[in-house]
Every structure is written in structure tokens, then in C-alpha cells.
Amino acid sequence: MSLPFTSKSDLVIGVDIGSHAIKVCQLKQTRKGYAIVALGSAVLPDGAVDDGTLYDSELVGESILNLFKNLKIKNKKIGFSISGYSVIVKKVNLAVMDDAALEEHIMEEAEQYIPFDIEDVYLDFQDLNTQGEGGDRTDVMLVAAKKEIVDDYLEMIRELNLNPVIVDVDGFALENTYEYSYQKIGNVALVDIGASKMNINILSNGISVVARDIIVGSRQITEQIQNTFDIEFEEAEALKLGSIAAEDKQQEIEGIFTTTCTQWVLEIKKAIDLYHSNHPDQPLTKLVLSGGGAKVHGLTDFLAKETALSVEIFNPFLKMTSKKRKIDPKYLDSIAPEMAIATGIALRSSNI
Ligand SMILES: Nc1ncnc2c1ncn2[C@@H]1O[C@H](COP(=O)(O)OP(=O)(O)OP(=O)(O)O)[C@@H](O)[C@H]1O
Ligand SMILES: [Mg+2]
């Protein structure tokens, strides 16, 4: 008897290649929804990946292979996601037309919408079907990604004998996880704070209406600690994470945290203000924080106070099961915020 859902091999392995760490997530479908099969991360050396660009493909490739080996992952079909300056996500309002006409129109007019030479980018689009009953205009989400950046990833992955079947965008992967895990969509701001960038994706009734990457992140705190005390990056990182005692550095470190978080909150507020000025009758209901930066002590309370929104930490595994003897529940809890993007990619079927 065959079960009425796709088999394990139909899901891709989600690989999120961040500037601080690679995150890998493998899911499978069960009768009760999704189950986590494998989960892991590996820290990358400083500079191997930055602002969505691959600078040391050998080292990153080696880390991916090691992770796959340690996690005993056999499936070769993977999905990865891109972000940073090389990806432009833009919403345009166009006359309603069928997919073929839309494709033709976008190919002809793309240069009007994106600041890159059309020959240099991969283009994709999705009709958001916002026309409503009898309407003749619809919003279309356009994605343009620089070929040279994407090709570097594709080449690295193929050299590992892996098969890259999905190229996602960080913000969309986040949205995908959110839709599955939280279901009640409403008007919500998804904010992923990584090591070197913050991705903001505001959803209004499930449709992305504000999407941006800002170059701020948790590495800023490490670098400021490093510069203030003239110490190595690793020591500064350990001080930041509290894995070594701050002692007489405590007060200055707290000051660095406050300055950085204030800057983050300002950026988030700018995006929220933009949203509210365009959607005055659809107020945001909450803000969901992911990425390693979400774990900065006190950030959720600070954000809640400054934005007057309810703020929570993203748990991509809310509706997923896992085996305790395979994945330590404590590890799962601690890594959950960083895993939101890898999980969103892993939810994609390889059949699309
Ligand atoms: N408790 C914590 N407090 C502050 N920062 C933390 C904490 N835990 C992790 N981080 C930081 O979060 C960052 C890693 O998060 P994440 O894995 O989301 O980044 P990334 O995806 O590799 O980066 P990016 O998406 O910006 O390229 C590191 O800078 C790490 O020091
Ligand atoms: Mg990231």
C-alpha cells in the first residue's frame, strides 16, 4: 500500500550557507506532518562567505561534505538560498495576463525594474494574484539574482557530487517555514538577524509586502568587542556569547550590546513604519525573530517595548516531530532560531 504523501526522497536537503555558519536540515513527511531526520551546523572561518558571496568555495565545500557525513545524509538533492547585494526582490503592479504573456512582458521590460544588466541575471517571478474580483491589475514578485554569484554556488555544489535542484531566497524560505509552522498568517514581520545581515520580510495576509536585506548583524558586536579590547576575533566571540567571563569588561560590553541593538531596532522600525504608511488599515500583529542574533539577551523585550508589538522567537519546529535519541531536544531548542531558513528550504519539494 502506498501512502498518500510524497516519499522522503521528494524533499530536498535544506542547506543555508551563512557568513557565520552552514546550517543543514533534512525533513521527511509522515502521517502527522513533517519529521526532522537530520539537523546540524558548522561554523565557517571568518571571510569564507560574506554578504551572500562565496569567497572560499573549497573550505565551504569541505564543511558541507563533513556535515553530510556526520549527519549520515545520503540524499544528493539539495536546495540552498541566496541573499545579499546580488539578489533583488521587487514587487511590480501589472495588468492581469496569463503566465506566458507575463513572462514575455517581464523579459522585455525587466531592465525597467532591476538595476542590473538583464544578461547578467537569472530572473524569476510569481504572480501574487492580488487583483480581487473583476480587478485588472495584479502584483507580481520579481526576483533577479546575479548569475556569477549563483554560478559560483552551483559549481561548488556540483563539485561535491551533490545535485542543486532548488535555489531559494532567504526571505522566501523564512516565509515558507512561517506559513507551515504558524499557519495563522495575519500581518506579521519576520526578521532574521544573522552574523552579517538582517533580513526583514513583512507579510500582509500571507503576501510579502516589504522585503529587504540590511547589512547589520551579530558579528558587529564581536568586531566592536575585538576592537575595544584589542583581542582576537575568537576571544571576542566567546565574550559576546558569555562562554568566558567578562569580569572588568562587563560594562563596556553591555554598552556595545545596547548601541548595536538600538541600531537594529531603528532599522526594524523603519521597515514597520513603511509598512504602516502603505497599509494603515492592516496593522501588524506581531514580530517574529530568527537567526543567531535573535538570541541576544533582552532583545525581544527591548523590541516589544520600542515597537509596541508582541515579539517572539521563531520556532521552525513547532509543528514537527523528531526522535529524542537522534536529536537532543536541548540542542534542538538552542539551534531552532538559526534553523528557520534551512528548514524553509527543506520544506520545498524537489518535484517543483
Ligand atoms: N546568544 C547569542 N547572543 C548574541 N549573538 C549570538 C548568540 N548566539 C549566536 N549568536 C550570533 O549569531 C550569529 C550566527 O547566526 P546565524 O547562524 O543566523 O548567522 P549566519 O546565517 O551564518 O549569518 P548571515 O545570515 O548574516 O550570513 C553569529 O554572529 C553568532 O555569534
Ligand atoms: Mg543567515
CATH of 184-314, one of 3.30.420.40, 3.40.50.10310, 3.40.50.300, 3.30.200.20: 3.30.420.40
> Phi/psi at 268 (nearest 5 deg)?
-65, -40
Nearest-angstrom CA–CA distance, 125 and 148: 20
Q: How far is the CA of 210 from the centre of ligand 1 (A)?
A: 23
Nearest alpha carbon to residue 216 among 193, 241, 191? 193
Ordered by start, the domain boundaries in the chain are 184-314
Pairing of strands 310-313, 286-290: parallel
The ligand 1 atom nearest the CA atom of 341: 21
223: helix, strand or coil = helix
Nearest alpha carbon to residue 290 among 352, 223, 201, 157? 201
Instruction: Report which bound ligand comes closest to the CA of 18.
Output: 1
Ligand 1 pocket mutation, candidates 169, 218, 261, 297, criterion most atoms within 8 A of CB: 218
- Chain-centroid distance of CA 171 in Å reads 5
Could you read off the pLDDT tens digit of each residue along the chain, which spans 352 residues? Answer: 333 344 545 799 999 999 999 999 999 999 889 999 999 999 999 899 998 899 999 999 999 999 999 999 999 999 999 998 889 888 899 999 998 999 999 988 888 888 889 899 999 998 888 888 888 999 998 999 999 999 999 999 999 999 999 999 999 999 999 999 998 778 999 999 999 999 999 999 888 889 889 999 999 999 999 999 999 999 999 999 999 999 999 999 999 999 999 999 999 999 999 999 999 999 999 999 999 999 999 999 999 999 999 999 999 999 999 999 999 999 999 999 999 999 999 999 865 5
Residues at CB less than 6 angstroms from ligand 1 = 18-21, 194-197, 217-219, 237, 240-241, 291-293, 295-296, 338
b/e sequence 111-149, b meaning 16+ C-beta within 10 Å: eebbebeeeebebebebbebeeeeeeebbbbbbbbbeeb
Q: What is the pTM of this model?
A: 0.94
Q: How far is the CA of 270 from the centre of ligand 1 (A)?
A: 22
8 A C-beta contact, residue 177 and residue 183 = no
Pairing of strands 137-146, 87-95: antiparallel
